[in-house]
Amino acid sequence: MSKGAKIIISGGGTGGHIYPAVAIANELKAKSPDTEILFVGAEGKMEMEKVPKAGYKIIGLPIAGINRSNMLANIGLPFKLIRSLWKTYTVIKNFKPDVAIGVGGYASGPTLIMANFLKVPTLIQEQNSFAGVTNKNLAKKARKICVAYPGMEKFFPAEKIVMTGNPVRKDILETASKREQALKHFGLSDDRKVLLIIGGSQGARTINESILAGLNDLISNDLQIIWQTGKLFIDQARSAVEALQTQRVFVADFIYEMDLAYAAADLVVSRAGALSVSELCLTAKPSILVPFPAAAEDHQTQNALSLVNVNAAWLVKDAEAREKLVDKAIELAENPKIMNELSQNIKTLAKPNAGQEIAAEVLRLI
């Protein structure tokens, strides 16, 4: 890589876009510390907080998505898009990047459109098994498209596709030796199985309500629990845990030490976002996936089925979670043979070098 290369990484909106973006940035910096990286996100979205915490500069665009529940709220969208394109034009002209990377999310659209217009090579990182409309359009002019699932030729030109997997934080790759430290961190013991419940970075209402209703059953079936609720549900969850007067439930709105959470866990209940699925593959955890039904193009169900179809995870539909999820978690916890089968099968899908491979593709474009 030439000294002082400049790279823009755009996208965000959820942890599933932000954390892979940061992982790619970290790999690029590891390969060449002189690399200058600038993030472009959407104003008011979580990347504006998370990216600076990771040590990178970010510029926000006034872009927003379509509000399907209140169509009148979309009147200003064309103006936001025009302002975002103009701002991106100015950013690219001033920063002069060698490559622009899009990881999905509102900001990646205008950024890569303008990068292509200004003849800057572009690369797309598609995390999901079902590509969104924006990435399908951007793919026409992208030089490379890094994907995490087979069969993506139905969305993208086959000659541009590189199968890399999804990049995750390095600490997620190193959980095997941390179990004792992890149990101590969460205040749990080593004589009972640990169920990890994660609904994505913002929590998942259906999962939270299902766990809340069955909390007593989980505890009476000898399980310990690490429960990430998201901000909107944390007060309810804490009240329920306090009422039970148990030391066997750790509850938090957000868990920063996800490496320790995975290290402590024997089994996992999770949404089926691309990042969560990749982390489950890498940590080889037997899992019950509850896809978010309102995800674009129902891509979480497609992500989940890619595991379920090879006996690498169980699936509980969102609409059935309140009646089935807790019973399924108890059933899985009480069946070590099935837990081991799921663990062995999901491990074969892991792509531990995804970040390095994507970084290598970026460097080839410079």
User: In CATH, what number is assigned to the domain containing residue 108?
Assistant: 3.40.50.2000
Is 181 one of the annotated binding-site residues? Answer: no
The answer to whether residues 36 and 161 belong to one domain is yes
Q: How confident is the model at residue 74 (pLDDT cuts 50, 70, 90)?
A: low
Distance CA 154, CA 70 (A): 32
The answer to whether residues 35 and 74 belong to one domain is yes
Is 275 one of the annotated binding-site residues? Answer: yes
Over 90: is that where the pLDDT of 267 sits? yes
Q: Is the CB of residue 201 less than 8 Å from the CB of residue 45?
A: no
Over 80: is that where the pLDDT of 215 sits? yes
Query: pTM here?
Result: 0.84
Is 255 one of the annotated binding-site residues? Answer: yes
Distance CA 69, CA 54 (A): 34
Looking at residue 298, its pLDDT comes to 82
Q: Higher-confidence residue: 213 or 1? A: 213
Lowest mean pLDDT across 94-98, 146-150, 332-336: 146-150
Is 153 one of the annotated binding-site residues? Answer: no
Please tell me the total count of domains within the chain: 2
Q: Is the CB of residue 259 less than 8 Å from the CB of residue 327?
A: no
Lowest mean pLDDT across 3-7, 182-186, 214-218, 239-243: 3-7
Centre a 10 Å sphere on the Cβ of residue 330 and count the other Cβ atoms it contains: 18
For 47-66, how does the pLDDT look when each residue is reduced to its tens digit (9 = 90+)?
Answer: 999 999 999 999 999 887 66
Residue 126: inside a domain, yes or no?
yes
The answer to whether residues 223 and 143 belong to one domain is no
Residue 36: inside a domain, yes or no?
yes
The answer to whether residues 183 and 323 belong to one domain is yes
Is 16 one of the annotated binding-site residues? Answer: yes
Looking at residue 2, its pLDDT comes to 46
- For residue 228, give its domain range: 171-347
The answer to whether residues 22 and 84 belong to one domain is yes
For 87-102, how does the pLDDT look when each residue is reduced to its tens digit (9 = 90+)?
Answer: 999 999 999 999 999 9
Residue 80: inside a domain, yes or no?
yes
Tell me what percent of the residues of the chain surpass a pLDDT of 90: 74
DSSP string, 126-144: E-SSS--HHHHHHTTT-SE
Residue 1: inside a domain, yes or no?
no
The answer to whether residues 333 and 249 belong to one domain is yes
Average pLDDT over residues 232-243: 93
Average pLDDT over residues 270-281: 92
Is 277 one of the annotated binding-site residues? Answer: yes
The answer to whether residues 29 and 84 belong to one domain is yes
The answer to whether residues 196 and 322 belong to one domain is yes
Q: How confident is the model at residue 157 (pLDDT cuts 50, 70, 90)?
A: very high
- As given in the structure block, the two tokens for residue 238 are 């804490």
Looking at residue 155, its pLDDT comes to 93
The answer to whether residues 126 and 158 belong to one domain is yes
Q: What are the start-end ranges of the E strands in 92-243?
A: 99-102, 122-126, 144-147, 161-163, 194-198, 224-228
Is 274 one of the annotated binding-site residues? Answer: yes
Over 50: is that where the pLDDT of 1 sits? no
Is 211 one of the annotated binding-site residues? Answer: no
Is 226 one of the annotated binding-site residues? Answer: no
